[in-house]
Amino acid sequence: MKEPSNESEEMYLESIYVLSEQQERVRSVDIARYLGNARPTVSERLPKLISEGLVRRKNNSTNVELTEKGTNIAKRIYERHRVLSKVFKALGVNPDTAVEDACRIEHYISDETFSAVKKYYEEQLAKKAPKEASAHEKEPVETE
């Protein structure tokens, strides 16, 4: 398995991405609630993400948003989350367990392995029901 650049960092970026798809503004308190962390923990982490060019304050307020670099990372991680969750559910894994396992694995799976799993899943889905396969292409943002 490949080591993630930083699992915690990726979780923060993914949470900001998901929250920004669901609501107009994202604040530290929203991130803390989403991740189940204490607000001071989030407040300590955000300056690092800002200094790394992944997040910025929105209009010099308490609201934050992802930079292009942060968005690219978040979308990559979130795609892994969604696809792996679907694969595990299709295999008969309890939905809650599938989401939890996908959340852990999404940070460690190599690009090569993820691409192969995604391709295989899509091929199997297309064989089962071509209409269902195209319906899965544009799904709404999934919350945990």
Q: What pLDDT, in 10s, does the model give residues 70-106?
A: 999 999 999 999 999 999 999 999 999 999 999 999 9
User: How many domains are there within the chain?
Assistant: 2
CB atoms < 10 A from the CB of 3, how many? 8
CB atoms within 10 A of CB 8: 14
Q: Are 113 and 131 in contact (CB under 8 A)?
A: no
Inter-residue contact 113 to 83 (CB < 8 Å) = no
Same domain, 16 and 66: yes
The sign of the CA dihedral 42, 57, 105, 122 is positive
pLDDT given at position 60: 74
Supply the range of the domain harboring residue 45. Answer: 7-71
Q: Name, in order, each residue with C-beta under 8 angstroms of 73's C-beta and a sequence gap of 6 or more.
A: 10, 13, 54
Residues 44 and 22 in one domain: yes
pLDDT for residue 3 is more than 50: no
Is it the case that residue 43 has pLDDT exceeding 70? Answer: yes
The percent of residues in the chain predicted with pLDDT above 90, rounded, is 72
Q: Give me the CATH number covering residue 127.
A: 1.10.60.10
Of the listed ranges 43-47, 61-65, 68-72, 140-144, the one predicted with least confidence: 140-144
47 and 11 in a single domain? The answer is yes
- Ordered DSSP codes for 89-120: HHTT--HHHHHHHHHHHTTTS-HHHHHHHHHH
pLDDT at 5: 57
pLDDT at 141 (0 to 100): 53
